[in-house]
Amino acid sequence: MVLLWNEFRGTFIGGHEMYQILTDSECDLPAKFLEENNVKAIYFHTEIDGKELVNDFGKSYSLDEFYEQIKAGVLPSTTQVNVGEYLEFFKKYVEKGMAIVYVGFSGGLSGSMSSANQAREILLEDFPEADIRIVDTLAASGGEGRLLLEAIRLQKAGASLDDLISWFDKNKLRLQQWFTVDNLTYLYHGGRISRASATLGTLLKVKPLLDVDPAGKLRFVSKIRTRKKSLLTLAQKVVTAIQSDPDQPIIITTSGDWEAAETVKQHIINKVPKADIQINPIGMTISSHTGFGCVAVFALGSQARQ
């Protein structure tokens, strides 16, 4: 039996609550995968020399070409998704009476999350019965993507929207996300480190280890003297994190250094031979702030990060 309930609170089909999962292009999951799982994404924007580029998973602009540009020293600028864009994105589902959940890029790294919440409040004025949920993943890149995998898994398992939100509230800080970069200039350009630190670090060949704190903001963890050691450290962090759940999906992302990403993958497999690992490209927005050669790893740990 099919039951339809379209009063801006949700839709039930065959006794199961149906809701639309939404995300953004900073999740760094393959576009084909999102399409196959009926997840819709809003796109961030990047600008180079006055030309606006849409971060649409490489559909309209080659990511490889973009990586070559930042490798050559081009410094792109980025803009957050504005309220109007979110209004348009959400409204087409709300008007149909569909419950929606937006699983989005960390509010600690972008003002876009604030824009999404503002759009929600505006829509509720016109559609007071609408069910619009906003999840700040407090994560970036494949970290957002890793949590999105859980949202998809839960929906397929029949979890209600309330259950999905409850899972995020209890578990999203279990996400472990570690980064290293090969060029400190972009962290300086983005205001993450001082000019002196960038210059000295470059001279000393420092490769910083970074993570994302519980507020969803980037932070330095330690300084590592060589690229080789930094990649090994990323792998070790993952191996430690997955001890309680070694079969879980692991995501590695990179802004163009595929060889380095494969090195991290092999280090993990050496310790966990059956590890489920995917390597994905980092989109233009985040790559604009990391430069060429960023490598990041993401997995769920047993404890919340501190």
* pLDDT tens per residue across span 275-305: 999 999 999 999 999 999 999 999 999 999 9
Please compute the mean of the pLDDT values over residues 167-192 and round it to a whole number.
86
* pLDDT tens per residue across span 92-140: 999 999 999 999 999 999 999 999 999 999 999 999 999 999 999 999 9
> What pLDDT is recorded for position 206?
79
> What pLDDT is recorded for position 225?
86
* pLDDT tens per residue across span 132-169: 999 999 999 999 999 999 999 999 999 999 999 999 99
Q: Is the pLDDT of residue 14 over 50?
A: no
Three-state secondary structure string covering the chain: CCCCCCCCCCEEECCEEECEEEEEHHHCCCHHHHHHCCCEEECEEEEECCEEEEECCCCCCCHHHHHHHHHCCCCCEEECCCHHHHHHHHHHHHCCCCCEEEEECCCCCCCHHHHHHHHHHHHHHHCCCCCEEEEECCCCCHHHHHHHHHHHHHHHCCCCHHHHHHHHHHHHHHEEEEEECCCCHHHHHCCCCCHHHHHHHHHCCCEEEEEECCCCCEEEEEEECCHHHHHHHHHHHHHHHCCCCCCCEEEEEECCCHHHHHHHHHHHHHHCCCCEEEEEECCHHHHHHHCCCCEEEEEECCCCCC
pTM of the model: 0.92
